[in-house]
A and B are shown apart, each in its own frame.
Chain A
C-alpha cells in the first residue's frame, strides 16, 4: 500500500487563526479524501479532493471553512479557517485505490484554544 505522510502531526492554535495540513503520498493515487475525527468519535468525511478541480464537500462542510487544494496526484492540503475550539479534532487524509480500499495517513491532532 502507499506510504502516506501528514504535516504537522499536531498543533495548538489560537481561535480565529487558520492552519493548513499537508498530505503527501509516495505514489500517484486517483482518490484522496479528508476526514475529521472528533474526540472519541467515528470518522466523518469532510470532502473528496479532486485533482485539478474544486473539492466535493459533504453536507455540513463548506469551502470557505475548509478550503482544499490538490495540485497533483500525490499531494493535497486542507486548511481549517477561522478556527474555534469546536474545530479541535484529528484530521486525517486517506487515499483510495482502484479496488476501493482506503488507507489513512497518520493524522493531524489539532487543538484550538
Chain B
C-alpha cells in the first residue's frame, strides 16, 4: 500500500518568514495530494490540494508543489502569521477503487511573534 513520509516533525519560524513542509510518497500511481491544517482540539481542515496533472498550485500565501518523478510534494507558506501555528498533515490518495487517503505523520508549525 501507499506510504507517506513527512518532514520535519516540528518547525519554528519567525512571523513574516516562510515555512516549507515536505512529503514523499511510495505509490507512483497516486494522483491526488491534499494538505490539512489541524488546530488544537479542532478537526483537520483542507487548506490546499493538488492533482498529478499539475506541478504547482497557489492560493494566496499558500502553495503546493509536486514532483511526480521524485514522488515528493511540498507545502509552502509565505509571510507566516501566528494564526498559521497548527499541525499540518500531507496525504496521498491511493490508486485503485479504494480511493483511500494515507496521511503523513504531521508537522507542528509554530510561528513566533
Binding site for B on A (CB under 8 A): 31, 33, 41-45, 48, 56, 58, 92, 96, 100-107
B101 and A45 contacting across the interface, CB-CB below 8 Å: yes
Q: How far is the CA of A92 from the CA of B70 in the complex (A)?
A: 32
Find chain B residues with CB under 8 A from A58 CB.
100
A-B contact pairs, 6 of them (CB 8 A): A31-B99, A33-B100, A42-B105, A44-B103, A56-B98, A106-B43
Find chain A residues with CB under 8 A from B103 CB.
42-44
Find chain A residues with CB under 8 A from B105 CB.
41-42
Interface residues of chain B: helix, strand, loop or mixed (majority): strand
* B46 within 8 Å of A (CB atoms): yes
B101 and A42 contacting across the interface, CB-CB below 8 Å: no
Find chain A residues with CB under 8 A from B34 CB.
101-102
Interface residues of chain A: helix, strand, loop or mixed (majority): strand
Q: What is the interface residue range for chain B against chain A?
A: 20 to 34
A104 and B106 contacting across the interface, CB-CB below 8 Å: no
Residue of A nearest to B1 (CB): A59
Could you count the A-B residue pairs with CB atoms below 8 Å apart for me: how many are there? 41
From the candidates A41, A44, A92, A101, name the one contacting B49 in the complex (CB within 8 A): A101
A43 and B43 contacting across the interface, CB-CB below 8 Å: no
A100 and B32 contacting across the interface, CB-CB below 8 Å: yes
**Min CB–CB distance B100 → chain A (angstroms):** 6
A100 and B93 contacting across the interface, CB-CB below 8 Å: yes
Q: With A48-B100, A102-B101 given, is the CB distance from A42 to B43 under 8 Å?
A: no
Q: How far is the CA of A106 from the CA of B36 in the complex (A)?
A: 14
Q: How far is the CA of A100 from the CA of B100 in the complex (A)?
A: 9
Residue of B nearest to A93 (CB): B43
Find chain B residues with CB under 8 A from A44 CB.
103
* B8 within 8 Å of A (CB atoms): no
Find chain B residues with CB under 8 A from A100 CB.
32, 93, 99
In the A-B complex, the 9 residue pairs with the closest CB atoms: A104-B43, A43-B103, A100-B32, A42-B103, A42-B105, A104-B44, A106-B43, A42-B106, A100-B93
Find chain A residues with CB under 8 A from B106 CB.
41-42
